[in-house]
Amino acid sequence: MILLTGFESWGKVPSNPTEELVEELSGDGVAGEVLPVSFRRAGERIEELIRELKPEAVLNLGLAPGSPVVRVERVAVNLMDARVADNDGFRPVDVPIDPQGPGCYFSTLPTREILEALRVRGIPAAISYSAGTFLCNFVMYRTLRILDLLGLRSPAGFIHVPYSTEIAARMDRPVPSLPMDLLREAVEVALGVISSASQS
C-alpha cells in the first residue's frame, strides 16, 4: 500500500489540485489522504496514518504556485519559517520542526528515475533541492522523521505540482499551469515508478 497525500485549499488559492489528484487516484493499492493546511493537524495526521498503515511507500503532494513544471523534491529541512499563517492562523518563524531531529532529510524515493519517467512521457519536470519552509517542507520532513523514528524503511518523498490550467483560468492574474490530465498522469507515473522500486 502506498500512502498518497495532498492538501486542502488555503489562503487566496481558489482550489488545490492535489486535493483532486488524491481523491481521484485513491484505491488499487493507494491510500489517499487530503491533509489540512495546519502545521499541528497535518503533523498529527501524518503520524497517525503511518502508524496505522505502515505503508510500503509514501508520496506527499503539494502545490507550487509559480512553478511551470512538476518538481521532484530531494531535500526537506528541519525548519518552519512561514511567510503567511496556516489555516489555523499559526505562523511559525525560524522554528525547528523537531528540535531533536537532524538538520535535513533526503527523499528516499527514486527521484532520478521518477524524473526520467516523467520526461519520457513528455511531462515538464525537474529535480528541486528546496521544498520551501511552509507546509510542504514540513510534511515531507515530518513523514521522513516518523518513518525514521519507527524504524520503517518505507521510501518517502515529495512532489510539487503547478496550478492546473482549470484553476489558473479562474484566477485574476496569469500564472504558470499545466492541464489537470497531465498532472494526473504525472502522479500516476510517479506512483508506478515507486511501486516497481518497492517490489524489486
Q: Which three-class secondary structure state does DSSP give residue 8? A: coil
What is the C-alpha to C-alpha distance for residues 89 and 194, in angstroms, rounded to an integer? 35
What is the C-alpha to C-alpha distance for residues 180 and 24, in angstroms, rounded to an integer? 11
32 beta partners: 4
Residue 148 burial (10 A CB sphere; 0-12, 13-18, 19+): middle
What is the C-alpha to C-alpha distance for residues 91 and 166, in angstroms, rounded to an integer? 30
Q: Among all residues, which ones are annotated catalytic? A: 73, 136, 160
